[in-house]
Amino acid sequence: MPVTIKDVAKEAGVSPSTVSRVISNHPRISPQTTAKVKKIMDELGYHPNMLAKSLVMQKSKTLGIILPRPAEELFVNLFFSEFIRGIVAQASRIGYDLLMTSGVTQMDEADAITKLVKGKKVDGIIILTSRKKDPVIKLLQEMKFPFVVIGRSDEFENILSVDNDNIKAATDVTNYLISIGHKRIGFVSGPAHLIVSQDRLTGYTEALKAAQLETKPEWIVEGEFLQESGYLAMSSIMSLENRPSALIVTDDLVAYGVLRGLTELGYKVPEDISIISFNNITISELTNPPLNSVEIGIYQMGYTASQLLIRSIEDGVDSKRELIPHRIITRQSCAPLLEK
């Protein structure tokens, strides 16, 4: 006769529900109990039928990930790959798989999510970007389906989310540049419809206002999270008669484009202009010069998002905002400026 959960439980001296939780990699089971139960499973030759288990529990043991638009950002920006690495690390540890989807339009995204939820293909959804008045968040709220947002919502407060304090981070960066003598500080922003762009721009403008420094509209350039956006921004900013002495760039990949554009225009960093950006992805220290950047804990954000969502699915936790701390990494792309 085939070995059952009850056989394993009896031999291990635990309840069948404990064996079930061990199979599901439940975080509340101690490492000692897990090791003991798995040892008995091996000795008895017990192999759980995960398909049958998922059918009985009506769980897919799969998390859905909504990729950002435009989707090509995912494949050229190491921010997203590091983020997904964190999601995978936690999800696989607990025994969850991942399913990714995207859409060209918001309607496409809504259709994709509806199919995932109605088809019971996933148990919860991770949204990788947060937008102003995001219809995806509204849809999932209406469906009462487990989800976690990377960022925050400008409409819904009581949702699961993982974020940095982007207003504080941008304020700290601006104050850092002010502290080393810069008074003319520009900003290369991300898309205006994203909450992260809005918050970082707010932190930048508030810091300048507090320091009684001017903010010029022509010193602020909006673009996508792509290298080309940073490259194109330099032709407009550096053509100004009264141009910034320092730039805050909202993403490392965009900053690479900024460096390339400045080099082609004949400017040196940091001699002619200082640059500092966000995310501190792995190759930031390999640029020429090595890039000052804000460490935002990308891997930890992905890991935490996965962890919160699985807790929501299994234990019903549905309202928590987790803030990941940031810190400024100083290298060689910023230099003090002495102005009269």
Is 148 in contact with 313 (CB distance < 8 Å)? no
Q: Are residues 184 and 152 in the same domain?
A: no
Query: DSSP label at 144?
Result: T
Q: Are residues 275 and 241 in the same domain?
A: yes
Q: Are residues 256 and 147 in the same domain?
A: no
**Total number of domains in the chain:** 2
Q: Are residues 94 and 111 in the same domain?
A: yes
Q: Are residues 290 and 247 in the same domain?
A: yes
Q: In what order do the strands lie in the sheet with 274-278?
A: 220-222, 185-189, 246-249, 274-278, 292-295, 327-329
Report yes or no on 229 lying in a domain.
yes
| Separation between Cα atoms, residue 20 and residue 26, nearest integer Å | 9
At a CB cut-off of 8 Å and minimum separation 6, what does 263 contact?
A: none
| Separation between Cα atoms, residue 146 and residue 60, nearest integer Å | 13
What pLDDT sits at residue 73?
Answer: 61
Task: Report how many helices (DSSP H) and strands (DSSP E) the chain contains, helices first.
Answer: 13, 12
Report yes or no on 18 lying in a domain.
no
User: What is each CA distance from 106 to 65, 113, 150, in whole angstroms?
Assistant: 15, 11, 17
What pLDDT sits at residue 150?
Answer: 94
Q: Classify the C-alpha dihedral 267-272-278-279 as positive or negative.
A: positive
**Of 337, 261, 315, 314, residue with least CA distance to 96:** 314
**Of 27, 296, 273, residue with least CA distance to 163:** 296
Q: Are residues 182 and 149 in the same domain?
A: no
Q: Are residues 97 and 145 in the same domain?
A: yes
Report yes or no on 23 lying in a domain.
no
Q: Are residues 247 and 195 in the same domain?
A: yes
Q: Are residues 127 and 216 in the same domain?
A: no
State the residue range of the domain holding 104. 62-164+298-325
Q: Are residues 85 and 232 in the same domain?
A: no
The CATH number linked to 98 is: 3.40.50.2300
Secondary structure (DSSP) of 181-213? T--SEEEEE--TTBHHHHHHHHHHHHHHHHTT-
| Cα 283–chain centre separation | 18
Q: Are residues 288 and 188 in the same domain?
A: yes
For the chain, 340 residues long, give each residue's pLDDT as a single digit of tens.
Answer: 678 888 889 989 999 888 888 877 777 788 888 889 989 888 888 877 654 454 445 677 999 998 876 555 666 778 888 999 999 999 998 889 999 887 777 788 888 888 888 888 999 999 998 888 888 899 999 999 999 999 998 888 889 999 999 999 999 999 999 999 999 999 999 999 999 999 999 999 999 999 999 889 999 999 988 899 999 999 999 999 999 999 999 999 999 999 999 999 999 999 999 999 999 998 899 999 999 999 999 999 999 999 999 999 988 777 788 999 999 999 999 999 876 4
Is 220 in contact with 201 (CB distance < 8 Å)? yes
